[in-house]
């Protein structure tokens, strides 16, 4: 995947500088306050009793958010004049259309996806477990804890084919990411623990579409943790909905099912994120979801070995995750808590590859707050990528849209 490695000495501080609001909102890679302090302050996370009211999800309702929303929506409506009414009637595939930089944060998706893994201590704890059942519980907690790290006001830049991203955590665990396909957009990664306790690898194919006032997306693809004893745990992520794109309150919600599989030890865990109440079409007109027992943002799951239920978990993807029987013979039941768990510190390398996301001119200009130059460079890079694709087709090479120069295969 990569042509070289580095000893990765400590880098200089690289705080974002787009604007005060964005700097407050985005998760910092390193610099000023501790990551856990930023996360707690930014997200204003309430107790689960508060989260059970209303429709749930994370809402962007601070004065800073509202000011940014106003500016962003003005530019969005201008962009929509060129898109037309199809967005409201049929929807638009966001992975195949060029978007204005007002929607973006100064990070590539290759960097953004690594935020899912910020509670790395849970993966280290899983690797230290000899009990496969407890190991599965830690991996489930690791996967679910990452959902709240993807809450962001802006979207990341789509990576360019061949783009890379490399970093490490403070404990020496190394991160390698690469964009291996443009259409469909597929990112691949490896996270390597230095002593060999685990390798976390996989690929993500991001699907996203906008219709009316909503964006729906999902990162499909494999997430696999391979441990030193040869066992593996594989899982997928739930779907994501962003409401209030053009008007109304902006809100992000996760929902759907996640399945975790450990084939070697015949373990499975099925988790529901924000499960919806069972209502008939008629009753949905007269009864609210809350009156049917709906609790927004709920997590509930069942861990089995074959048909035997070993344990159950519950919690809230914005707050915490508990296992009924716990781990370590019941000594610990809450494996993740947003108020107590500290996210890992990620450190970029000082001498990245020329293909590293940090080298992109559009990202660099956006970090400096120059949207005009960022938009121009974004357009240049997109045109360069299209030209490269045409050259590969003309040369008869298989390209990432699934075609040869001579047609389908």
**Assigned domain for 323 exists:** no
Residue 50 has pLDDT above 50, yes or no: no
Residue 40 has pLDDT above 90, yes or no: no
- What is the model's pLDDT at position 94? 65
- 92: alpha, beta or left? (left if phi > 0; alpha if psi -120 to 50): beta
Determine the average pLDDT of the residues in 231-252. Answer: 93
Residue scoring higher pLDDT (12 or 363): 363
Give per-residue pLDDT as tens, 105-148: 999 999 999 999 999 999 999 999 999 999 999 999 999 999 99
With H, G, I as helix, E, B as strand and everything else as coil, classify residue 110: helix
| Cα gap 297→255, rounded to integer Å | 8
Domains in the chain: how many in total?
1
Residue scoring higher pLDDT (399 or 300): 300
> β-pairing, 104-108 with 155-157?
parallel
Q: Contact 76/246 with Cβ under 8 angstroms?
A: yes
**Assigned domain for 278 exists:** no
- What is the model's pLDDT at position 45? 40
- Of all helices (H) and strands (E), which one includes residue 50? helix 48-51
Q: Contact 195/378 with Cβ under 8 angstroms?
A: no
Q: Domain containing 82: what range?
A: 20-256+345-358
Q: Contact 217/206 with Cβ under 8 angstroms?
A: yes
**Tokens standing for residue 305:** 């070995």
**Tokens standing for residue 238:** 């739930």
Q: How confident is the model at residue 19 (pLDDT cuts 50, 70, 90)?
A: very low
- According to DSSP, residue 172 is labeled S
Q: Contact 175/51 with Cβ under 8 angstroms?
A: no
The chain-wide mean pLDDT, for the chain, equals 81
- What is the model's pLDDT at position 288? 53
What proportion of the chain, given as a percentage, has pLDDT over 90? 53
pTM for the predicted model, two decimal places: 0.79
Give per-residue pLDDT as tens, 176-187: 999 999 888 899
Rounded CA Rg of the chain: 22
Q: How confident is the model at residue 293 (pLDDT cuts 50, 70, 90)?
A: low
Angle formed by the axes of helices 120-128 and 132-145, nearest 10°: 170
- What is the model's pLDDT at position 51? 39
**Tokens standing for residue 346:** 């990620």
| Cα gap 390→404, rounded to integer Å | 11
Ramachandran angles phi, psi of 211, nearest 5°: -140, 120
**Assigned domain for 249 exists:** yes
**Assigned domain for 46 exists:** yes
**Assigned domain for 338 exists:** no
**Assigned domain for 297 exists:** no
46-74 CB burial, b ≥16 within 10 A, e <16: eeeeebbeeebbbbbeeebbeebbeebbe
**Tokens standing for residue 141:** 């907690």
**Assigned domain for 75 exists:** yes
| Cα gap 32→296, rounded to integer Å | 33
First to last CA, the chain: 26
Contacts of 288 (CB under 8 A, 6+ apart): 294
Determine the average pLDDT of the residues in 313-341. Answer: 96
């Amino acid at each position: 995947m990569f042509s070289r490695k580095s000893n990765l000495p400590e880098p200089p501080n690289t705080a974002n500088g787009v604007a005060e609001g964005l700097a407050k909102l985005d998760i910092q890679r390193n610099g000023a306050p501790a990551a856990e302090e930023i996360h707690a302050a930014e997200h204003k996370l309430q107790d689960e009793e508060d989260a059970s009211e209303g429709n749930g999800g994370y809402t962007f309702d601070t004065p800073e958010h509202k000011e940014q929303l106003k500016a962003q929506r003005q530019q969005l409506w201008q962009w929509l004049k060129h898109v037309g009414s199809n967005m409201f009637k049929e929807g638009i595939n966001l992975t195949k259309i060029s978007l204005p930089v007002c929607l973006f944060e100064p990070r590539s998706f290759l960097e953004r996806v690594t935020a899912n893994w910020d509670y790395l201590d849970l993966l280290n704890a899983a690797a230290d477990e000899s009990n496969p059942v407890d190991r599965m519980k830690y991996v489930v907690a690791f996967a679910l804890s990452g959902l709240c790290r993807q809450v962001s006001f802006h979207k990341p830049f789509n990576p360019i084919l061949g783009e890379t991203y490399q970093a490490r955590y403070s404990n020496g665990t190394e991160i390698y990411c690469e964009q291996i396909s443009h259409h469909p957009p597929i990112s691949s990664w490896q996270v390597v623990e230095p002593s060999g306790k685990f390798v976390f690898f996989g690929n993500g194919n991001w699907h996203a579409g906008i219709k009316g006032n909503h964006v729906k997306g999902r990162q499909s693809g494999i997430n696999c943790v391979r441990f030193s004893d040869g066992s593996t745990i594989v899982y997928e992520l739930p779907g994501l909905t962003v409401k209030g794109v053009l008007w109304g309150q902006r809100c992000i919600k996760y929902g759907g099912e996640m399945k975790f599989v450990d084939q070697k030890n015949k373990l499975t865990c099925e988790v529901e994120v924000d499960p919806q109440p069972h209502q008939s079409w008629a009753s949905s007109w007269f009864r609210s979801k809350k009156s049917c027992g709906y609790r927004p943002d709920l997590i509930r799951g069942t861990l089995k070995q074959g048909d035997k239920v070993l344990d159950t978990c519950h919690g809230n993807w914005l707050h915490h995750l508990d296992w009924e029987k716990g781990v370590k013979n019941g000594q610990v039941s809450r494996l993740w808590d947003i108020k107590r768990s500290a996210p890992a510190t990620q450190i970029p390398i000082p001498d990245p590859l020329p293909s590293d996301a940090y080298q992109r001119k559009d990202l660099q200009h956006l970090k400096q707050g120059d949207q005009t130059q960022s938009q121009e460079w974004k357009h240049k890079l997109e045109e360069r990528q299209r030209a490269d694709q045409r050259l590969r087709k003309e040369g008869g090479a298989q390209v990432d849209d699934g075609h040869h120069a001579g047609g389908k295969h």
